[in-house]
A and B are shown apart, each in its own frame.
Chain A
Amino acid sequence: MDRQRSHGSADLLRLATAGSVDDGKSTLVGRLLYDTKSVLADQLDAVRRASVDRGLSTPDLSLLVDGLRSEREQGITIDVAYRYFATPRRSFVLADTPGHVQYTRNTVTGASTAQLAILLVDARKGVVEQTRRHAAVLALLGVPRLVLAVNKIDLVDHDETTFALIAKDFTAHVTALGYEESAVQAVPVSALLGDNVVDRSEHTPWYVGPTLLEHLETVPVREDPHDAPFRFPVQYVIRPRTAEYPDYRGYAGQVASGVVRTGDEVTVFPSGLRSRVEHIDTPDGPLAEASAGQSVTLLLADDLDIGRGDLIAGGAPPEVTDELDATLCWLSEKPLRAGARVLVKHGTRTVPAIVTELTALFDEQTLSVSDAPRSLALNEIGRVALRTAEPLPVDPYTDLPRTGAFLVIDQTDGGTVAAGLVGAPLPVMDTRRDLVSPGP
C-alpha cells in the first residue's frame, strides 16, 4: 500500500470536550456515541438498568461515560475519559474532561493533544466564568479549533436571539484570546433530545449551519507539515550487533514537526554537529521522506555521538538555551514559589532546573496579568523564568508545540506538577510582556 500518501492523520480527529458542571457534557458525549451507533446493546442495557435503579423514566446517557463508582454516585465526572467512535468519514478519539474548578488539570490533559475542542454552555446561563477559563486554557495550549455547543436549547424555546447573543459573547472572548472567527463554530443543541447533535433539529429552522457531527466530520484539521522546520527528538539508539546487521546504528524517534528526506542536511542539538540523512528506515522498508507524526529510524552519514535526549533538526534552528522564559499551567496542590528546584522533561531529555523568578500571573477571567506573584497555586497560569542544568534546544510553543512544550516534574515524588510552554502563548500576555520585562 502507498504508506506515504496515507500517512497523514486527517481521518483521525482528536478532540476534547469542556464545560461546567451540569451543562450536560456527559449527556452530549453519550448522545454522540448513541446517535452514531457506537453504543452496543449490552452497554445500553446496563445504562437502562442503572437508570431504572435511579428512578429515571428515560435512559440517562451520561451513565455511558461516567466510569468510576464515585462519579456515578455523585453524578459528576472526575477524570478524563477517552471515547471512540467512527463514521464513514472519520475516526474520532474524544477526551471527555471534567468541569469542576478543582479538576482543571484534567482539562489540560484532555486538550494538550486535541485538534478541536467542544465547549459546552447551558443556553439558560450563557457564557460563564468556567467557559472563559476553559477557553483560555484551550487557547494557551493552542487547540486549533473550537466549537461552542449551546446546550439545552429546548429549555429556552429554541430561541434564535438567545443563541445569537451567547455565540456573540463567546466569539468576542475567544477572538481576544487570539482565535480567528473562522476557527470557531457555534451550534444550538439539545444533548438530551438529540437536536443538532447528529440529526438536524426541526425546532431550529433559523439555524443553517452544520450539526455538531457534520462539523466534526468535515472541519479541516490537517496542517501542511512542509511549512514547518524538521524536528526529531531521539528516543532510542537501535544497534542490533547481529551477523546480519553488524554495524547498524539507527536513531529511533517520532517526527515532531516538518518533513525529512534522504539526503537532507541536519544538525544535532545541543552539540551543533552536522550530518546528512542517509536512510529513513522502517520495518516495512525504507522511505524517501517522513513527516510529522511518523515513527521512523534515521541513519546518518557520519558516525556521531548521538543518544537519547538529542534533537536532530533541519530548517530554521531551535534556540539552544539554559534560560527559559516560559508559561506554566500549575497542576499541583503544592504551590510554586521562586527558587523551587524541579525537573524539566523536554522532548526526550529530562534535566534539573530552578525556577528563578515568577514574573506574572494570568487572570483567565479578565485576560489580564498581574505582576510578579508570590506563588503559583493549583490551576493558576503564570509566567516564569527557569534556569536549566544543561542547555535545551527549544522552539516557541506557538510556532512548534511539540518542541515548545515541557513537563515540570517534582523532584521528590516524581509527580507532574505543571504543563510548561516556551514563551508566551497567550496574546494578552504578549502585550504585557514589554511592561513586565523590557527585554533586549
Chain B
Amino acid sequence: MSTDTVDTPPDLAGAALDALESEAIHIFREVAGEFDRPVILFSGGKDSTVLVHLARKAFWPAPIPFPLLHVDTGHNFPEVLEFRDALVEELGARLVVARVQDWIDDGRLTERPDGTRNPLQTTPLLDTIAEQRFDAVFGGGRRDEERARAKERVFSLRNAFGQWDPRRQRPELWNLYNGRHRPGEHVRVFPLSNWTELDVWRYIAREGIQLPSIYYAHRRHVYRRDGMLLTSGPWGGPREGEVVEERTVRYRTVGDGSCTGAVESEARTVADVIAEVQASRLTERGATRADDRLSEAAMEDRKREGYF
C-alpha cells in the first residue's frame, strides 16, 4: 500500500467522527449523572470550543448543566476574549474567570523573570477548584498532543493538591468510568482523549463550529525568538536585536500570548487548515509552544503539579 497520501475518504472520516462524537457525549452525560459540581475549562481555543459544542449536543434541548471556567493569564489575544464573551452570551452560561493578575497582585504568585505566565496558571486553577468546590473539571486535552498525555485516563483522579500520579492511575475498563473521589479530591475529565488534531479540524468543518479569527491566516507584526514567531502584547515585545516584520500567519494553538507562536500560513478557511494540518511535518505543540521545549519531560512535570 501507499502511505504517501493521508487523505481519508470523506465518508470514512465521517464515520470515525461519529464514533468519537458519541464517545465524548457519553462521557459528558456520565459526569452530569455522577458528579455534583462539574465545570468546563474554557480558554477560547479550538479544543475547548469543540468541548463546549459537544456538551451542548449531549444535553440538547436543555442548556449545558454546568458553568465554564477560564484561567486568564492576562496575556490574551483580544480576538479570543471577544469570542469567549460572545459564546458565553449565546449559551446563557455562567463564566467563572480566575485572573492570574489577581494572584500576582495579592502576593500569592510572583511574576517569572521571563515574563511567561503559562506555568503560573496552575495555582489559580487549583485555588478556584477548591473555592468553588468543583468536583469534575472537563479539559480539552488530547492524548495525541504529547507523550505524557498519551498515558492519561479519560477520568483522571487528582488529589487535594491537584496532582496527577501516573503510577496510581485507576484501570479504565470498557466504557465504565469510575469517578469516585474523596472530599477535596477532584477528577479531570478528557472527552477528547481519543481525538487527533486532524479529527478536531474535520469536526469543526463538519459541524460548522466558529473559532476565534486568529486560527486563520491574517497579516500580523511578528518577531522571531527561539524559532517561533511571537507577537507584541501586554506581555512585552521584541528584545534588542529581534526584528519585527509583517507576515501572513495563523495560530495552531491559543495559549498565553507570551509563549504561543504563530506559524506562517495562507490557510484562510477550515478546508485550507485541514489541508495544511495533513501536510504538516510538525506537531502543533512542537511548532508553537515554547513551554513544552523546556525539557524532555516538561509536560509530565507540569501535569504532576496539577496543570491542565
Tell me the A residues contacting B by CB distance below 8 Å: 1, 3, 6-12, 35-37, 40-43, 46, 50, 64-69, 72, 78-84, 86-91, 93, 105-106, 108-109, 112-113, 198, 213-214, 217, 235-236, 238-242, 244-245, 248, 252-254, 282-283, 293-295, 308, 331, 343, 345, 347-348, 401-402, 405-407, 409, 413-416, 419
Contact = CB atoms under 8 A, between A and B. Distances in A.
B3 A414 contact: no
Given A78-B166, A78-B167, A248-B61, A40 B12 contact: no
12 contacts: A8-B15, A65-B150, A82-B151, A86-B8, A86-B198, A89-B12, A91-B8, A236-B29, A240-B61, A295-B22, A308-B33, A345-B178
Nearest to B196: A84
Contact of A254 (B26, B62, B281, B297): B26
Contact of A415 (B62, B167, B170, B300): B170
A3 B33 CA distance: 27
A108 B171 contact: yes
Contact of B283 (A42, A214, A245): A42
Contact of A80 (B25, B151, B182, B206): B151
B143 interface: yes
**Nearest 6 pairs of A and B residues by beta carbon:** A414-B180, A42-B286, A67-B147, A9-B19, A240-B62, A283-B60
A40 B141 CA distance: 19
Contacts of B176: 345, 347, 405-407
B280 A7 contact: no
Given A12-B20, A414-B180, 8 more contacts: A11-B16, A83-B144, A88-B9, A109-B172, A198-B1, A213-B1, A283-B57, A294-B22
Contact of B286 (A43, A112, A409): A43
B14 to A, nearest CB: 5
A294 B175 CA distance: 13
A61 B193 CA distance: 23
A407 B60 contact: no
Contacts of A240: 61-63
Nearest to A347: B176
A331 B19 CA distance: 29
B61 A414 contact: no
A294 B146 CA distance: 29
B295 to A, nearest CB: 9
A109 B154 CA distance: 12
Interface string B274-308: 00000011110011000000001100100000000
Given A3-B18, A239-B62, A252-B29, A283 B56 contact: yes
Contact of B173 (A35, A87, A415, A419): A419
B147 A105 contact: no
Given A109-B173, A254-B22, A236 B33 contact: yes
Contacts of B13: 11, 91
B5 interface: yes
B14 A414 contact: no
Contacts of A7: 15, 18
B26 A295 contact: yes
Contact of B26 (A66, A235, A239): A235
A86 B144 contact: no
B148 interface: yes
Contacts, number: 209
A414 B178 contact: yes
A11 to B, nearest CB: 4
A154 B254 CA distance: 47
Nearest to A402: B174
B178 A93 contact: no
B58 interface: yes
Interface in B41-88: 56-63
Contacts of A89: 1, 12
Contacts of B228: none
A84 B143 contact: yes
A1 B19 CA distance: 15
A302 to B, nearest CB: 21
B144 A84 contact: yes
B114 interface: no
Interface in B2-41: 3, 5-9, 11-16, 18-23, 25-26, 29-30, 32-33
Contacts of B280: 40
A290 to B, nearest CB: 10
A68 B143 contact: no
A86 B19 CA distance: 15
A87 B33 CA distance: 37
B147 A113 contact: no
Given A88-B7, A253-B29, A405-B174, A67 B150 contact: yes
Nearest to A106: B171
B169 A414 contact: no
Contact of B19 (A12, A65, A68, A82): A12
A416 B150 contact: no
Nearest to A254: B26
Contacts of B60: 238, 282-283
A282 B11 CA distance: 20
Contacts of A88: 1, 5-9
A345 B193 CA distance: 22
B194 interface: yes
Contacts of A295: 21-23, 25-26, 29, 58
A50 B297 CA distance: 12
Contacts of A8: 15
B16 A12 contact: yes
